[in-house]
Amino acid sequence: MNKRLGVVIVMLMMWFLGVCIYGIYQLERPLNLAESMVKTYPKGKPLSWFFLRLEEQGVIADVRPIMIIAKMTGDARKTKAGDYELTPEMTSWDVLNLLVAGDTVEYRVTLVEGQTVQQTLRRLAAHPQIKQDVPAEPDALMQYLGLEGHPEGRFFPDTYLFHSGTRASEILVRAQIRLETVLAEEWRDRQEGLPYDSPYEALIMASIIEKETAVPEERDEIAGVFVRRLQKNMRLQTDPTVIYGLGDRYKGNIRRKHLLEKTAYNTYRINGLPPTPIALVGREAIHAALNPAPGKTLYFVAKGNGYHHFSETLQEHNAAVRKYQIRKREKEYRSTPELNPVQ
């Protein structure tokens, strides 16, 4: 009897040892993945649900060892929902630790300088990992965010990292705070004697500069032209403001009738700055608006290669227009100040 009991005990010990060896093997076995993959662990689902999906897909061979460990250690109750990146070198134990740490995948979305708030909202809406919670119409946006004023130009263009399920409003609030921070920093270090009564007016100017050129080294020179025009009580006469004022009516060409139309944004017809920015503005354009290049130029015209020709006199400017524009563009189209100016 004692001999049989001893045999049973030995067999149980061997079985237990075998189970332990098998469990350790499964826990330390790399995931069956040819390449990295992102798996979603939904909120409200038990840990077993997540690992059973991996077992069904052949990513792990046996869910039991890791679930035993998770329950013994209490980790089964500590895991966090989200999207997780699994890599071929990971083990099931690594996956458990990843879920406990909540080290979820970071996604990114880029808000682009020069784009309007409407385009920005569409960009956010197109991202599948962003939870859409903001109004589609810009007019209702600021009230929804608990902010005041017009939404145009109020969000800083940058790349923002976020986790799956982040609300669009959270990203916009981050972008708005970032814009206010950058604007305050640049306003503090601005040149003296600028024709702005507030940082917001500088932001409006910066948005015009942002739309006028994509060439970094031209920004401060364009800023200088516009600042001098304001100081001389000359109209800005800049096409991007006209285009913004036209909204959906703009079809790719500015006509004379558009220049004659008196809108709040038609700087061929209004004095000073338009009432709001016309696009998202990067730090470089804000810096240029607050640190314009010195000089005497009052005009510029696009040369057709991304750069501009700058002139001090209307006579020189009109000669540049004839050289660079009239033969290349439709008769009634303008892209620079003072070409047949409208009074």
Residue boundaries of the structural domains of the chain: 28-101, 106-182, 193-326
What is the CATH number assigned to the segment(s) 28-101? 3.30.1490.480
**Whole-angstrom distance, CA of residue 103 vs CA of residue 101:** 5
Cα distances from 21 to residues 14, 15, 69, 249, in angstroms, run 10, 10, 14, 73
pLDDT at 250: 81
Q: What's CA 297's distance to the chain center, in Å?
A: 35
pLDDT at 56: 92
pLDDT at 9: 63
| Backbone phi, psi, residue 109, to 5° | -140, 140
* 10-residue stretch averages of pLDDT, the chain, 343 residues long: 61 59 68 91 92 92 87 89 93 91 93 95 94 88 92 97 94 97 96 95 97 90 96 94 89 82 92 96 97 94 85 90 69 42 35
Q: Where are the beta strands (DSSP E) in 59-181?
A: 82-86, 106-110, 130-131, 159-163, 166-167
Three-state secondary-structure class, residue 299: strand
pLDDT at 326: 65
pLDDT at 321: 86
Indicate the residue type of 223: A
Q: Where are the beta strands (DSSP E) in the chain?
A: 37-41, 82-86, 106-110, 130-131, 159-163, 166-167, 299-302, 308-311
